[in-house]
Structure 1
């Protein structure tokens, strides 16, 4: 073997070992919890131009850091979401890789002819990365914004007490406007004007949380916004015809499937105007906008954590004619559905079984996966999917 051939072989073996180490650590990072800081080893490469090794080394490091961030993105997002948002990820995430890397160190480096390779160990802040993906709307889009319904009692200038009206009030409209702009799906309360239970609570000063949750479930809302807002005249502005108005708002967001309060906000604000109605409206809109910002931030953070963390989905199975069919269904659910980590049987009685399914994903993705599976001797009919629950029926085949 000539000296040149030996040199080439040495470089090839070295690169092979580097790639093997890289693949090993890539596999390891995907096993980690995406909520933690991720440490990964990657290979950066570049071309040596005009024998400028220093420049090539810098470019190789930048390439390695980009790959480290790409690995972290791959842990957080699905492959479909990455493909769909490739250009946005490239422009806003990958080109700013250093902003997500807490630190790095060079483990090995080599030059082969006009190619420079470097192995670096980079520490990527998954939290910072998730925050940016969320701000770009990529992370939340993967899960989908919740269907939201409003039950805010409001007292404007000239009214004696807060009350819930058939149509959305000033504060509800303002909050709804800002939430809709961020992708939230709004349930129109006025469309449910003929609902007897809703009619019975109109005019009340404050709606009970349990009642709001019940009404939300009846109209397929995943979150209800409950609270009150009021505006009042405070004083005249000295030396002018302007008047000062004060508004206060207190709201909270409640999940309709669990009854859990996942967001809340309280604000006070003022406005000045010569007209009572206009002044009160301005003050109410001001505090409503502040509350909307709080609710959006808190709901989004809570909602989106379920994309990267395991959650429990209640699966109710009806129509069980033969226990063997249920056993077959449960076996496929446990072993052949992507993202399912565990299945816990709550109980089975009178042809109905209830299970808690621990899954990394959402109830909708679980339902989609189930519909793609073939079952021997029976099929399934999924007739209800909510944020944390699925109801289905086993249907015998022909």
Structure 2
């Protein structure tokens, strides 16, 4: 799009410049239905320079990109749907912003030592965004998404220490640039994230885990943290040999992670993502590149897990029932008998059994919700059941003695 072509047009631009600036800075543009596969949006944003100029520039550009996606979404949805789905839309667009951006170009940038300002032209995949929103604010997500526990170590450039939250005597503040970005990607997709700070070290101390986590260790930790899936791996930042001048250093961050299903022990394909960043400070450069690599790793794993969960949520197949409660062994026989009598249950097998917990695999011609609905109608002489959670192909039930 050409803004002006001759002296006459430049005079008009000068005359209308204040109006144009007001439009750019306005809260929202007039909604207009995108007509093609993509739409070009121009936004302006600023960021306060706190530690270094590159970080402030990156933050301002990030803000412009999010504004571009938000403006495009506002042009797609009617006002009543925006109001109704306000919280959902905010989480979706912030967490999955990069999926809807085709490319962008910084048209103008300036800073005065305190604030960095940018004017950015962004091409948004409006057709993809419209499809995701389904034109009425709904998202194409399966129900009962799993709870995720992250067990990803982090090592910054120039730091020999490997940081991870499950180590003995770990400090309250841990480097988590990669994991924070991964968590944001998962939250934007609607996943629940287990806060590792709620997992007391005393509950996993006997596992004596180091920085490298095996699948069995991840599964056991996930069970004790009440997680359905564990994301395990490492995030490493290192200084690259390339430089720009005397002070600008290049950093490469690599995040390697895999997703492990707690109930079945199945491991999804490993995701490896690397990003580079230019920064004069080692700590800031490490954080920047690990955050970018973590965001991409999070998006990759989200796609894998969503595909797997949609497959598991389909009608028919194996479901897993987790039973908990004090002294449940005397009640297991009665529970299994009731389970066998439910229409659609072709077989069941006890995978794990203890005094306070048990896991049963059930082959059922129906959805997890249908099985839960059938179970809750059953009556038991010596105990009652509380179906407190259904996630994917897993049903969590508490047995209580009468």
Instruction: Pick the TM interval, shorter chain.
Output: 0.5 to 0.7
CA 1:367 to 1:319, structure 2 compared with 1: closer, same or farther past 3 Å? farther
1:105-158 superposed Cα distances (whole Å, 9 cap, x missing partner): xxxxxxxxxxxxxxxxxxxxxxx9xx9589976442x51221111110111122
Q: CA deviation at 1:163?
A: 3.4
Q: Which has the higher helix share?
A: 1
Equivalent position of 2:349 in the other structure: 346
1:161–1:205 Cα contact (<8 Å) kept: no
Q: CA deviation at 1:249?
A: 1.4
Equivalent position of 1:217 in the other structure: 223
Describe how 1:329-344 pairs up with structure 2 within 5 A.
330-331=340-341, 333-334=342-343, 341-344=344-347
Equivalent position of 2:160 in the other structure: 160
CA 1:366 to 1:309, structure 2 compared with 1: closer, same or farther past 3 Å? closer
Distance across 2 between alignment mates of 1:322 and 1:360: 23
Q: TM-score, normalised by structure 2?
A: 0.54
2:334–2:380 Cα contact (<8 Å) kept: no
1:8-39 superposed Cα distances (whole Å, 9 cap, x missing partner): xxxxxxxxxxxxxxxxxxxxxxxxxxxxxxxx
Equivalent position of 2:104 in the other structure: none
1:38-58 superposed Cα distances (whole Å, 9 cap, x missing partner): xxxxxxxxxxxxxxxxxxxxx
1:313–1:359 Cα contact (<8 Å) kept: no
Residue 381 of structure 1 pairs with residue 385 of structure 2 = yes
Equivalent position of 1:194 in the other structure: 201
Q: Which has the larger radius of gyration?
A: 1
1:172-218 superposed Cα distances (whole Å, 9 cap, x missing partner): 1110122112211111112224335259757x331222111111110
Equivalent position of 2:319 in the other structure: 313
Distance across 2 between alignment mates of 1:391 and 1:358: 17
Distance across 2 between alignment mates of 1:279 and 1:306: 40
Distance across 2 between alignment mates of 1:394 and 1:236: 64
Equivalent position of 2:50 in the other structure: none
Distance across 2 between alignment mates of 1:170 and 1:353: 36
Measured on the aligned residues, the alpha-carbon RMSD in Å equals 4.0
Equivalent position of 2:184 in the other structure: 177
Describe how 1:33-112 pairs up with structure 2 within 5 A.
none
Q: Secondary structure at the match of 1:272?
A: strand
More contact order relative to length (CA 8 Å, sep ≥ 6): 2
- Segments of structure 2 that go 5 or more residues without pairing to the other structure are 1-83, 89-127
Q: Secondary structure at the match of 1:151?
A: strand
CA 1:236 to 1:383, structure 2 compared with 1: closer, same or farther past 3 Å? same
- Segments of structure 1 that go 5 or more residues without pairing to the other structure are 1-83, 89-127, 335-340
Q: Secondary structure at the match of 2:201?
A: coil
Equivalent position of 2:121 in the other structure: none
Count of aligned pairs between the two proteins = 259
